Amino acid sequence: MRQSQLLIPTLKEAPAGAEVASHQLMLRAGLVRQVAAGLYTWLPLGLRVIRRIEAIIREEMDRSGAQEVLMPVVQPAELWQESGRWEKMGPELARLADRHERDFCLGPTHEEVITDLFRREVHSYRQLPCNFYQIQTKFRDEVRPRFGVMRAREFTMKDAYSFAADQASFDATYREMHDCYSRILRRMQLDFRAVEADTGNIGGANSHEFHVLAESGEDTIAYASEGGYAANLERAVAAPPPPRPTPGETLREVATPGRTTIAEVAQFLEVPVGRCVKALAIGGEDGPMLLILRGDHELNAIKAQKLPGVKQPLEFASEADIRTATGAGPGSIGPVGAEVPVFVDREAAALADFVCGANRDGHHLVGVNWGRDLLLDEAQVGDLRNVAVGDPAPNDQGELQFLKGIEVGHIFQLGDTYSQAMGASFLDREGKASVPIMGCYGMGVTRLVAAVIEQHHDAAGLRWPEALAPFDVHLVALNYGKSESVREAADRLLAELSAAGIEALLDDRPERPGVKFADADLLGLPKRVVIGERGLKQGCVEVRAGHGRDLEQVAPAEVKARLC
């Protein structure tokens, strides 16, 4: 193709507001343009990359035995009411009414539609297991669309949904999808990790996310230094704490005037921060609730949200509500004598002789002990905190370490959540109605474009892996407009390469060589041929057969062979 005939609006500088490298480069190299927050138009080069990613995904999904379908973007509210998600989903679900005032939504995911298809069309165990996939537009009204197409509102996802007759059959499909995702990401030359993950709005018991490792990633992955354990920070656990020591101190109340933060209190009382507990007041269905954590630990909102009676989504109680419930301000509250529901992180529950707020302004309790000074029921104790670097990993796998990742895929063990709720069933071998076990498998096609760029760029621009480059070869023709010999050689090469099935982009624009080289570096196609008058006089063009490869002088007739 001729560059003069394609819209590739390159930019010298990164536009203001583009924070991460992939967003900057996608704008600079003319892959996308923003239409509104989280909504993008894909220009020719960007779309070609999407098509290559889709082709790899299709090949591997087909290889795994999945069948491709295409479901509508617009989905009737009735299906979402059946699954219970019409109520449960917040404003991320975009709802609309048609001209007859019937409710619909823009599909953020397709569990309901596929389960409806299954219950209508699949009837027998003989048709199982089955796995349906599509590559299609999703809409999610994200609170904070950002990082370009990485967190957009409209984006392309490959989503798949499997149905199995029994657990063993489901497990085999899940393993196959795990392998399939790994094959897809390896073909894209991505450095990635599969990790245990939280299931969020989709539900089900277990799930795994696939993360492309990148400093700019929004997710934190905790992994064991000596073993295979790896989990999203949202879900990661450390080894359980050692048993609680026996009490040594007596309980006393001390004045801590003006000290309200844990650091201030610990310093004032000369106790380590880790022996003070903090009380976080959150909104519960019947008024505030207290969460107790060690002073040096951070609350994990995803874990806390799963506690019984906690308001969804998690919110901190107002100062006024805290005062009404405890009689003190947020800096002086604690579990002793609290008349609201209390949940305790297991690390805080393992402390003896600790410090906590006295539920009286400007006062704290020291030498506090569970069991002796306040009751602690096992049902109140759980894992509520974010793990930290250096924590002991579960199952003696060394220490936890952190990495940053971009979530590009997420596979879920749904169990019978949707099939039960929506009454999907099939006749088993004995002719009895049985409920299928489901899985679902998402992969962000457009997010992958950005993730690939995060791992494949340098100071000058993009560095496409060969499997994903929008074109295989960049033919940079110097003085194309003025030099007959350059024009002839370049046109011939373009024709010859396309006849051989090699997709080439010919820079035939009337631009100076410096501009052409800068743009070629920015676009980052792996192979390059520079055609100039001086070289041609000596019977040569300049070929670079891949990123990081040396430049070679090659006779035009040999170019095709050198590039194959």
Chain positions contacting ligand ATP, by CB under 6 A: 109, 140, 142, 151-152, 155, 157, 200, 202, 407-410, 442, 444, 446-447
CB 408, min distance to ligand ATP, A: 5
Q: Which is nearer to ligand ATP, 4 or 305 (CB)?
A: 305
CB 184, min distance to ligand ATP, A: 12
| Alpha-helical runs (H) found in 93-139 | 111-121
Q: Which is nearer to ligand ATP, 155 or 343 (CB)?
A: 155
CB 9, min distance to ligand ATP, A: 23
Can you spell out the DSSP letters for 345-408? Answer: EHHHHT-SSEEEE-SSTTEEEEEE-BTTTB---GGGEE--EE--TTPBPGGG--BEEEEEEEEE
Coil, helix or strand at residue 265:
helix
Distance (Å, rounded) from C-alpha 177 to C-alpha 175? 5
How far does Cα 516 stand from its chain's mean position?
A: 36
Q: Which is nearer to ligand ATP, 198 or 347 (CB)?
A: 198
Distance (Å, rounded) from C-alpha 329 to C-alpha 333? 7
* Cβ neighbours of 286 (radius 10 Å): 9
CB neighbour list of residue 1: distance below 8 Å, 6 or more residues apart: 471, 503, 504, 505, 506
**What Rg value do the Cα atoms of the chain yield, rounded?**
29
Q: Which is nearer to ligand ATP, 197 or 531 (CB)?
A: 197
Q: Which is nearer to ligand ATP, 113 or 333 (CB)?
A: 113
CB 250, min distance to ligand ATP, A: 48
Q: Do strands 252-255 and 363-368 pair parallel, antiparallel, or not at all (unpaired)?
A: antiparallel
Q: Which is nearer to ligand ATP, 86 or 517 (CB)?
A: 86
How far does Cα 198 stand from its chain's mean position?
A: 11
CB 282, min distance to ligand ATP, A: 22
Distance (Å, rounded) from C-alpha 96 to C-alpha 104? 5
Which residue number has the CB closest to ligand ATP? 444
Going by C-alpha positions, the residue among 225, 138, 46 that lies closest to residue 440 is 138
Q: Which is nearer to ligand ATP, 229 or 441 (CB)?
A: 441
CB 152, min distance to ligand ATP, A: 4
CB 181, min distance to ligand ATP, A: 10
Angle, CA 48 vertex, CA 28 and CA 505 arms, to 5°: 75
Q: Which is nearer to ligand ATP, 326 or 455 (CB)?
A: 455
Q: Which is nearer to ligand ATP, 42 or 155 (CB)?
A: 155
CB 22, min distance to ligand ATP, A: 12
Q: Beta partners for 477?
A: 531
Can you spell out the DSSP letters for 439-456? Answer: EEEEEEHHHHHHHHHHHS
CB 211, min distance to ligand ATP, A: 9
